[in-house]
Structure 1
């Protein structure tokens, strides 16, 4: 079972439906800064390349895709495995990057403080990720 989450800068918006037409999120920062902030909250996070990292937890793993940009606009997280611990990791990652976690299963932001259970249904209901969604 896989689940895709994007972490992006979206301060001031309660929902993706609030985005004005043509709006683009601000960048999360330079690649090295993003990697450094991720390592601060996940010391065992391993980046095999400057664009892709992996983290392994108890019963789950997360692939971090920073994309080809030197200034990172968003981080794509591909979560593998049904683990509630992964939700905690997602929250810590979003906080470390001063970003919001967009749950592709819900189609909106995860609300870790307001609704800690947001996203938990995805573990039960999500179909496996298509192989075309995986980074090259």
Structure 2
């Protein structure tokens, strides 16, 4: 199966690159939500959080931080950023090569990641906390 992000890494597909090192690449999203919307990917293909090493994720986040800081210091005049990984189809992942979205934000912009989301109460928080603790211990 073909992966567009692997094609970008290989130089076989176009992208506006904003950062690159031996293990990662950051480039502008072709369908930006806001000006400067950047994707940070590992050069080595992995699909989602289930097969991506923690060190790779940490590197992606460090680069995401640099991109977010650059968006504040640049002519984009960002006041903040959203850093988001959509992990799996249920979380709206559409390209199955893990990637971090860095969306520079400005006060008063109209983008809303949580628009329409209802505040929910979890009546069984203790049990859900226990389930997560037990699963974490087993990893």
TM-score, normalised by the number of residues in structure 1? 0.28
Q: Considering only CA atoms, is the larger Rg found in Structure 1 or Structure 2?
A: 2
Higher strand residue share? 1
Higher-RCO chain (CA-CA 8 Å, sequence separation at least 6): 1
TM-score, normalised by the number of residues in structure 2? 0.28
Higher helix residue share? 2
